[in-house]
Amino acid sequence: MPPSSVRPATVMTDPGATPVSALPGVGPALAEALGRLGLERVQDLWFHLPLRYEDKTRVTAIADLRPGERAQVEGVIEAVERGFRYRPQLKVAIGDDSHQTLMLRFFHFHRAQSEQLQPGARLLCYGEVRQGAQGLEMVHPQYQRLSGDEPVTVDELLTPVYPTTEGLGQKRLAGVIAKALALLPPDAQLELIPQELCQAHGLTSLREALLYVHRPPPDAHLGQLTTGRHPSQQRLAFEELLTQHLSLKRMREAVRRRHAPRLGGNGEFRKRLLGSLPFGLTGAQQRVSVEIAGDIAQPQPMLRLVQGDVGSGKTIVAALAALAAVESGYQVALMAPTELLAEQHLNHFRHWLTPLGLEVVWLAGKVTGKARQQALARVAAGAQVVIGTHALMQEGVAFAQLGLVIVDEQHRFGVQQRLSLRDKGADHESGLVPHQLVLTATPIPRTLAMSAYADLDVSAIDELPPGRTPVQTIAISNARRFDVIERIHAACLEGRQAYWVCTLIEESEQLRAQAAEVAHAELSAALADCRIGLIHGRMKPKEKQAVMGAFKAGELSVLVATTVIEVGVDVPNASLMVIENSERLGLAQLHQLRGRVGRGAIASNCVLLYQPPLGQLARERLQVMRETNDGFRIAEKDLELRGPGEVLGTRQTGQLSFRIADLARDAHLLPAVQEVGAHLLARHPQAAERLITRWIGGAARFVHA
Ligand code: ADP
Ligand code: MG
């Protein structure tokens, strides 16, 4: 009897659901290795997409090699050198008909290998070309020896390179995937997006797309494939983005099905706060406040992200939302990522709310012992507002009646943290969950907001308070450091205040603090007639508070700081910012730091000190900073230069790791993704579920747990 007739019936109906172990040649060991990659069913193999391709379909002349490219080269060994200076090394120089030499370097090699690689031997190698000290080189290329005048045979197809795991080689993995692809059913069975939607959005055959990316034909355009712009890749990227969108939407629906208290009383507290402010709200602040008030008056939990550039005035908007909750007799928790930022909020909120007879409790990680017990007792007794770092949400914090959670600078928290926070505030008796307001100062590019934050509504404070003058930014080489110090001196004598930020990248706060101490000593000596303060992360909260207080009161002319002042610090009179080693910082961080000035009516300046020579990326970043103060443009550029995982700080959570999609590159697909997503959820919820299982599988189950 032929083996096919004894296959279980499921293979015939839904080959994708078949366990990989049912494929010929997949024994327990291989199945286990595949399992480590999350590849359990045949369809997991279909959607295990290549990371990149190797082009061994042709041989490139050494003279035509370009650094950064991967290429196949054929040549004869001209010289071999063994080095031992730092570690054993084998350097093999090969030459070809183009009369150029390429250096192959090996750091790990066995004896047999070094015996094989002798002058005169012919090699066919494949690897990435790098610019070495003595010309072009390849480190650890793949290679094979060619005998005598054996003609070179090149591959006919591009070779896909798959993500894999230890103990599972590319060839073996590709072999299993080929077997799985043999079971790929026709589109009618494979396709989960309804036919009419595929047509409306020009989505081509899924089956063809999968076959193409796994086995590109000989005439495939490598450039297109490498950059992910081939229509087949775009077809798959569309489906992957759609799946992520659906999964976030589903998460949001789950929350929306829960109940939240309706917040918003007679408006008395809000009216009194607004009456006490020295300014009126901007149009954008008013609009966003109205949006929030509308949300929290509903019995479903609000999930709203307020994004506004640095200095756009998010704090007062948050305070108004808090007061709406307080008016209904509910408590508010405000969480910030750093102690310094939380303290600033504490100061603002106490300044605004204490005159209204409200209690604001401080609950940071450093509040310990008796003080912590007391704070916890106040929270349990119903203190209206509680402010702190994430320690706020740690064990032992029991709220009397939490109605609203405000999270500032969200991009520093992962999506997981956001979810756990949401659950922390749930009241088990009433089943009510708090509303959630998320503030972010790093404007999130629209494309990212639409996908990564599909579980949140987004409001933008897209207007700065009146009377601000844009910050003038210049980049100056560290060689002219003394000119800069002179300039600061002159400015301070005129009564201006300056930040001098030290930006050691070192992981240790101790080293960072040291660098700031050195700069403090240098500036104190150079500016003997000015008062210079110092603030860094190693100082006690009380000390930090005292220094910030003195700077705010104008008693200090210069504040030497580490990047602890990056977020939230608000001293409107400060109008000069010097950032040392600015070439080491990312755009988002530079923008945050610069946002510390330009907060008052005084024209402000920012000096980006850099250590030459500048790399290409650093040069681009500094250029962007000089050109614009617009946080949205900077964020877009940041996304382009760094990629979305890092922009959102969610790299570790795995939320944004795509197999084939790239948010920056594929942003143009998102409007259609949203449209198709809405349609699927409304009309074909089961197809949506199956898409999620197909693309996210086990990871989706994890997010739901
Ligand atoms: P961010 O959005 O960066 O958190 P803040 O809430 O710290 O901004 O506000 C920045 C500064 O602008 C603060 O000094 C604040 O008091 C002031 N501010 C906020 N709203 C207005 C307004 N409508 N008019 C004038 N100043 C304002
Ligand atoms: Mg702020």
Q: Which CATH code for domain 472-653?
A: 3.40.50.300
Instruction: Please name the residue whose Cα sits nearest to atom 20 of ligand 1.
Output: 313
For 317-337, the pLDDT digits (tens) are: 999 999 999 999 999 999 887
Would you state the pLDDT for residue 452? 59
What mean pLDDT do residues 98-119 have? 87
Across the strands, what pairs with 368?
none
Distance between Cα 685 and ligand 1 center (Å): 44
What mean pLDDT do residues 276-305 have? 94
Q: Which strands, in side-by-side order, build the sheet including 558-561?
A: 472-477, 605-610, 574-579, 497-501, 558-561, 532-535
Angle subtended by helix axes 268-276 and 339-353, to nearest 10: 100
Distance between Cα 624 and ligand 1 center (Å): 25
Distance between Cα 311 and ligand 1 center (Å): 5
For 38-91, the pLDDT digits (tens) are: 899 999 999 999 988 888 888 999 999 988 788 999 999 999 988 766 667 889
Residue 655, pLDDT above cutoff 50: no
Would you state the pLDDT for residue 651? 34
- Annotate 367-386 with b (16+ C-beta within 10 A) or e (fewer): beeeebeebbebbeeebbbb
Q: How confident is the model at residue 647 (pLDDT cuts 50, 70, 90)?
A: very low
- DSSP of 515-571: HHHHHHHHHHHHTTTS-EEEE-TTS-HHHHHHHHHHHHTT--SEEEE-GGGSSS---
Q: What's the whole-number average pLDDT of the chain?
A: 84
275-279, 390-394, 556-560, 693-697, range with the lowest pLDDT: 390-394
CATH superfamily of 261-461: P-loop containing nucleotide triphosphate hydrolases (3.40.50.300)
Residue 20, pLDDT above cutoff 80: yes
Residue 420, pLDDT above cutoff 60: no
Which ligand gives the minimal distance to the CA of 465? 1
When comparing pLDDT for 626 and 398, which is higher?
626
Rg (CA), the chain: 30
Q: How confident is the model at residue 649 (pLDDT cuts 50, 70, 90)?
A: very low
Q: How confident is the model at residue 122 (pLDDT cuts 50, 70, 90)?
A: very high
Across the strands, what pairs with 559?
499, 533
183-197, 393-407, 688-702, range with the lowest pLDDT: 688-702
Q: Which residues line ligand 1 (CB under 6 A)?
A: 279, 281-282, 285, 308, 310-316, 441, 465, 570, 572, 599
For 571-605, the pLDDT digits (tens) are: 888 999 999 989 888 887 788 889 889 887 788 99
When comparing pLDDT for 564 and 127, which is higher?
127
Atom of ligand 1 at shortest distance to CA of 280? 23
Would you state the pLDDT for residue 334? 93
Would you state the pLDDT for residue 646? 46
Which ligand gives the minimal distance to the CA of 349? 1
Would you state the pLDDT for residue 560? 94
Atom of ligand 1 at shortest distance to CA of 344? 7
Would you state the pLDDT for residue 106? 87
Residue 699, pLDDT above cutoff 70: no
Would you state the pLDDT for residue 137? 92
What is the residue extent of each domain of the chain?
A: 56-157, 261-461, 472-653
Is residue 8 classed as helix, strand or coil in its secondary structure?
coil
Distance between Cα 310 and ligand 1 center (Å): 9
Q: How confident is the model at residue 508 (pLDDT cuts 50, 70, 90)?
A: low
Q: Which CATH architecture best describes the domain 56-157? A: Beta Barrel (2.40)
Atom of ligand 1 at shortest distance to CA of 281? 23
Residue 660, pLDDT above cutoff 50: yes
Which residues are within 5 Å of ligand 2 (an ion), measured at CB? 568
Identical fold for domains 261-461 and 472-653, yes or no, is yes
What mean pLDDT do residues 458-463 have? 88
Residue 481, pLDDT above cutoff 60: yes
Atom of ligand 1 at shortest distance to CA of 408? 4
Atom of ligand 1 at shortest distance to CA of 282? 23
Percent of the chain whose predicted confidence (pLDDT) is above 70 = 86
Q: How confident is the model at residue 626 (pLDDT cuts 50, 70, 90)?
A: very high
Cα separation, 472 vs 477, whole angstroms: 17
pTM confidence score: 0.65
Would you state the pLDDT for residue 217? 87
Which has the closest alpha carbon to 248: 652, 683, 695, 659? 695
